[in-house]
Amino acid sequence: MNKPLRRVAVFCGLLVLALLLRVNYVQFVQADQLSNDVHNRRVAINQYAQPRGDIIVDGKAITGHTTTTGSDFKYKRTYTNGPMWAPVTGYASQAYGTTMLEGVQDKFLTGDDDRLFFNRTIDLLTGKEKKGGNVVTTLNAKAQEAAYKGLGAKKGAVAAIDPRTGAILALASTPSFDPSTIAGNSQTDAKNWVALDKKNDPDDPSLNRALRQTYPPGSTFKLVTAAAALETGKITDIDKGTESPDPYTLPGTTVPLPNEGNIPCKNATLRIALRYSCNSVFGKLGADIGLKDMTDEAEKFGFNQEQFVPVRANAGNFDTKMSPDQVALSSIGQFDTAATPLQMAMVAAAIANNGTLMQPYEIDKLVAPNLSTIAQTSPKELSKPLSPENAQKLQSMMETVVNEGTGTNARIPGVKVGGKTGTAQHGLNNDQNPYAWFVSYAMTDQGSPVAVAVVVEDSSANRSDITGGGLAAPIAKKVMEAVLNK
Amino acid sequence: MSASNTTTITSIGAPNRRNTELALLVFAVAIPVFAYANVGLAKNDAVPAGLLGYGLGLGLLAGVAHLLVRKFAPYSDPLMLPIATLLNGLGLVLIWRLDQEPRLGRAMAPNQLMWSTLGVALFVCVLVFLKDHRILQRYTYISMFAALILLVLPIFFPAVYGARIWITIPGVGSLQPGEFAKIIITVFFAGYLMVKRDALALASRRFMGLYLPRGRDLGPILVIWAMSLLILVFETDLGTSLLFFGLFVIMLYVATERTSWIVFGLLLSSAGAVAVASYESHVQVRVQNWLHPLALQHGDVTETAQAMYAFGSGGLFGSGLGQGYSRLIGGIAPKSDYILATVGEELGLAGLMAILLLYALLIERGIRTALAARDPFGKLLAIGLSGAFALQVFVVAGGVTGLIPLTGMTMPFLAQGGSSVIANWALVAILLRISDTARRPAPSPAPSPDAEATQVVRTQ
């Protein structure tokens, strides 16, 4: 009976071997995939098993943490001034994941980033609790506050950039929400989460309007058209008549493009046309420049491309296939043209920085829990939409707008301010209240420290009050003053 | 190294190895005690208060068992008792560790400790009262009836967790008769096959290279096949039916040395499996879970997926005892069916392989005992018990790790469950008894005046 016994022994050996191979496959080959699976709750548990690193503005943390009981998660995120900073921080929620900086730098904030390996190892050896790294932002607390308070109860957004480096100084969006209220995984958090949903709150408070909402830029887009006119050489002298009729008939159609109110647009110079925001002049210019050159210039300013700051910002839109009349309409910021507030702040920043557009960025550096710097962002040039001479011509025109044109509400005594207002029509037959835009920059002897774009979509305001100069310019002025420290 | 000292087959001059067993037992007690301290430190930052009592308790159990083995089965295999003690001890630590999780129901480690004590008591009883395993041969047909009754009984009790494998005795608790039936039916098979092996092996026709048995010899295998199917259908117990059928095929093969039995066995079992799987929803669900372990069910993560996540998150070295999240598997499952998932998560691939190798070693010692046994009944009984043990380990571990569809069975010694731990201690005791007989030196020939002229011939 020993021969079959030995065979049975081999069979049992094979059974055990199969088991050993299987556990090796599961625990070694598949281990990474399984341990990081989205449905594996350990991922979330580990994320909140230690205090999360902080997001820092001007040397002060705008985030914090508390401990929770009664759930798998030990630590819960808290936010100082949550609604004001929500477009920057996003949220880190035990139940609903992470967004914005919390999402982009999640691994660093939880301490799982490979760059923190050394720190983790030291902590392990010295028996210290694992800690997350800190994210130091480029934001300016005062500018952010000015933007958020300036928007107040109105619906809108503000984006401010340092034109010299591309550092983002303010990103405000109203109405906003407090990320602290959805940071946990309790019933209350769930209720708050449901209430935030767009279906339940038409104001969509969790939408980051500064980065993720595109609006028709209206007349503020005329800056891009003016830049294209200068760059293509269509206009060399900004104080010479442009030989444009009033009203201008859209090419290939019999539709007239009128101007708002009684303004001197017939054969106006470029400076006058920008000061009074002449549709006829810029519509004709756009059509004359043509689709290709207009698209090129818009794309040099960053249109048609998502920006990663490192949080993703939606792409602005300037169509690449249009008939001449559509090009004319697009050149005054209507038709399908769309831009995020960040995109328009980039336009103003490029002009203020003498034609060089810097890559916008939100994170100055990443620091380890022991405060050593792990990564530092260095400013990077994105493109050169304008030559310095043309940029200075455009600056001169924008300063005219603020000093004696539609943007006088943004004047700051003793500082050179350039700006452009916009009132973007939207809705079928313009039946909805338009968006009020204002983009501007402030200039000192050391160049321009701030460019800002403000959009206010306040449907409750009286229609005749909705102009970029009236609604948006005062907010931009406050933000610029905050940065200038006035 | 002389051959006579390393193999259990040789009987002359084999040392009894009781001191080896004692030394191994020290480890088998020390390792769970350290594991216990480890869990306490990880969960509560303190050495558990019961450490001393627990350690002494386990040490006492192992010590008493060892002393009685020394007295009543001095030549038995030295590895089996330490391995069983180590597995049982680790199982207790794991269950105690899962007791610390608030969401996994009441504490079960104290009960398990009590059942383990009863198990060791039964182990000792078998060694003391079963002087020779051949006595069991007398009870061949009684065993058959006992096994049948044990197997059929659960049908009259309500299903628990979807399987009808428990009998509930008011005031005592529930019992899983399948675990005991496993041993008793092996006794029956061994006795029956020992008598019928020649008829089954020789009275057959050759057909296409295979020996086809006569219809009347084929009868028993068909009866067992039908019985295992019935268990599957009425008790929805995939594991037990697979175990019994596999056990019978292995023993038939060993008894008759005819490969044709294996072919028949495989054909019949696959036919039966397909037939049952095609209309039994319980089985279909298991197969679906096996094919798509990570699929969501009604938007929720399944137990199967949770176990896979536990294994994956454990990785090579595990999270450390007490530092995993087996509670996510939920219910009582992590303490019984899925206890290997906790091993995988907290002790890692390294720990899981160590545990599997312990089982492999135990099985190997059992098969060695079968090889060494001198009587066919002992051989069949030993291979039957080891085979059943091997199949059970394979079916459970394979099911939990996703190698084969999951079947509801307990991991011997490791998992929570009174019937299982008691039955397996008895199983080890019988194996030890057989190995004691097998390794016992042959009695020296009686002194005889004409010894010089006589040649002693031993027959195997």
Q: Which of A421, A419, A415 is nearest to A402 (CA)?
A: A419
Tokens of B337: 């069916």
Q: Which of B58, B53, B54 is nearest to B88 (CA)?
A: B58
CA dist., res. B340 & res. B352, Å (int): 8
Active-site positions of A?
219
Task: Quickly state the pLDDT bin for B186 (edges 50, 70, 90).
Answer: very high
Residues of A in contact with B338 (CB under 8 A): none
Tokens of B397: 């571990």
Tokens of A16: 């055990």
Contacts 24+ apart (CB under 8 A), A9-15: A9/B364, A9/B367, A9/B371, A11/B250, A12/B360, A12/B363, A12/B364, A12/B367, A12/B386, A12/B387, A12/B390, A13/B360, A13/B364, A15/B390, A15/B391, A15/B393, A15/B394
Question: Is residue B74 reached through a cis peptide bond, with omega within 30 degrees of 0 on the bond before it?
Answer: no
Q: How far is B206 from chain A (nearest CA, A)?
A: 20
Given the structure tokens 């306490």, which residue do they identify? B40
In this predicted model, which residue has the larger pLDDT, B205 or B10? B205
What integer pLDDT is reported at residue B210 of this predicted model? 64
Task: Quickly state the pLDDT bin for A428 (edges 50, 70, 90).
Answer: low
Best B101, B313, B361, B367 residue to mutate vs chain A (most A CBs within 10 Å): B313
Q: How far is B441 from chain A (nearest CA, A)?
A: 20
Tokens of A256: 């007239």
Which of B309, B363, B371 is facing A34, going by the closest CB pair? B309
Residues of A in contact with B296 (CB under 8 A): 39
In this predicted model, which residue has the larger pLDDT, B213 or A90? A90
pLDDT above 60 (res A300): yes
Which of B349, B379, B401 is facing A1, going by the closest CB pair? B379
CB contact (8 A) between residue B316 and residue A6: no
pLDDT above 70 (res B4): no
Q: Is residue B159 within 8 Å of B236, Cβ to Cβ?
A: yes
CA dist., res. A304 & res. B252, Å (int): 77
CB contact (8 A) between residue B353 and residue A23: yes
Q: Which residues, in sequence order, are CB contacts of A34 under 8 Å at separation 6+?
A: A26, A40, B308, B309, B311, B312, B313
Task: Quickly state the pLDDT bin for B348 (edges 50, 70, 90).
Answer: very high
CA dist., res. B264 & res. A269, Å (int): 100
| pTM given for the model | 0.70
In this predicted model, which residue has the larger pLDDT, B363 or A268? B363
Closest-CA residue of chain A to B326 = A42
What integer pLDDT is reported at residue A429 of this predicted model? 59
Query: How many Cβ contacts (< 8 angstroms) between chains A and B?
Result: 135
Q: Which of residues 269-328 of B touch A (CB under 8 A)?
A: 294, 296, 301, 305, 308-309, 311-316, 325, 328
Residues of B in contact with A6 (CB under 8 A): 371
What integer pLDDT is reported at residue B221 of this predicted model? 65
Q: Which residues, in sequence order, are CB contacts of B260 under 8 Å at separation 6+?
A: B204, B210, B211, B212, B213
Residues of B in contact with A30 (CB under 8 A): 308, 312
Query: pLDDT (tens digit, 9 = 90+) per residue, A149-202?
Result: 999 888 899 999 999 999 999 999 989 999 999 988 888 888 899 998 888 888
What integer pLDDT is reported at residue A343 of this predicted model? 95
What integer pLDDT is reported at residue A464 of this predicted model? 55
Read off φ and ψ for residue A8, nearest 5 degrees.
-65, -40
CB contact (8 A) between residue B294 and residue A39: yes
Q: Which residues, in sequence order, are CB contacts of A324 under 8 Å at separation 6+?
A: A250, A251, A252, A287, A290, A291
- Per-residue pLDDT, averaged over B143-154, amounts to 83
What integer pLDDT is reported at residue B172 of this predicted model? 63
Query: pLDDT (tens digit, 9 = 90+) per residue, B251-305?
Result: 989 988 888 778 877 888 888 888 877 877 777 888 888 888 888 877 788 888 8
CA dist., res. A51 & res. A122, Å (int): 17
- Per-residue pLDDT, averaged over B365-374, amounts to 93
Best A10, A20, A27, A33 residue to mutate vs chain B (most B CBs within 10 Å): A27
Query: pLDDT (tens digit, 9 = 90+) per residue, B64-122?
Result: 999 999 999 999 999 999 999 999 999 999 999 988 887 777 788 888 888 999 999 99
Query: pLDDT (tens digit, 9 = 90+) per residue, B216-242?
Result: 666 766 777 777 777 767 777 778 888
Angle at A161 between CA A158 and CA A164, to 5 degrees: 165
What integer pLDDT is reported at residue A28 of this predicted model? 93
CB contact (8 A) between residue A4 and residue B253: yes
CB contact (8 A) between residue A13 and residue B312: no
Given the structure tokens 């602290």, which residue do they identify? A180
pLDDT above 90 (res A96): no
Residues of A in contact with B254 (CB under 8 A): 1, 4-5, 8
The alpha carbon torsion through A139, A142, A145, A150 (nearest 10 deg) reads: -120
- Per-residue pLDDT, averaged over B179-205, amounts to 84
CA dist., res. B445 & res. B337, Å (int): 53
Question: Is residue B412 reached through a cis peptide bond, with omega within 30 degrees of 0 on the bond before it?
Answer: no
pLDDT > 70: percent of chain A: 96
Q: What is the ipTM of this complex?
A: 0.89
pLDDT > 90: percent of chain A: 39
CA dist., res. A63 & res. A88, Å (int): 11
What is the SS3 assignment for chain B?
A: CCHHHHCCCCCCCCCCCHHHHHHHHHHHHHHHHHHHHHHHHHHHCCCCCCHHHHHHHHHHHHHHHHHHHHHHCCCCCCCHHHHHHHHHHHHHHHHHHHHCCCCCCCCCHHHHHHHHHHHHHHHHHHHHHCCCHHHHHHHHHHHHHHHHHHHHHHHHCCCECCECCCEEECCCEEECHHHHHHHHHHHHHHHHHHHHHHHHHHCEEEECCEEEECHHHHHHHHHHHHHHHHHHHHHCCHHHHHHHHHHHHHHHHHHHCCHHHHHHHHHHHHHHHHHHHHHCHHHHHHHHHHHCCCCEECCEECHHHHHHHHHHHHCCCCCCCCCCCHHHHCCCHHHCCCHHHHHHHHHHHHHHHHHHHHHHHHHHHHHHHHHHCCCHHHHHHHHHHHHHHHHHHHHHHHHHHCCCCCCCCCCCCCCCCHHHHHHHHHHHHHHHHHHHHHHCCCCCCCCCCCHHHCCCCCCC
Comparing A79-93, B125-139, B164-178, the range with the smallest average pLDDT is B164-178
Q: Is residue B309 within 8 Å of B86, Cβ to Cβ?
A: no
Q: Which of A176, A168, A165 is nearest to A204 (CA)?
A: A176
Given the structure tokens 């800690």, which residue do they identify? A131
Q: Which residues, in sequence order, are CB contacts of A436 under 8 Å at separation 6+?
A: A156, A421, A422, A423, A455, A456, A457, A458, A466, A467, A468, A470, A471, A472
CB contact (8 A) between residue B311 and residue A23: yes
pLDDT above 80 (res B214): no
Contacts 24+ apart (CB under 8 A), A70-75: A71/A184, A71/A185, A71/A186, A72/A41, A72/A44, A72/A45, A72/B325, A73/A44, A73/A45, A73/A48, A73/A49, A73/A184, A73/A185, A74/A48, A74/A49, A74/A50, A75/A48, A75/A49, A75/A50, A75/A51
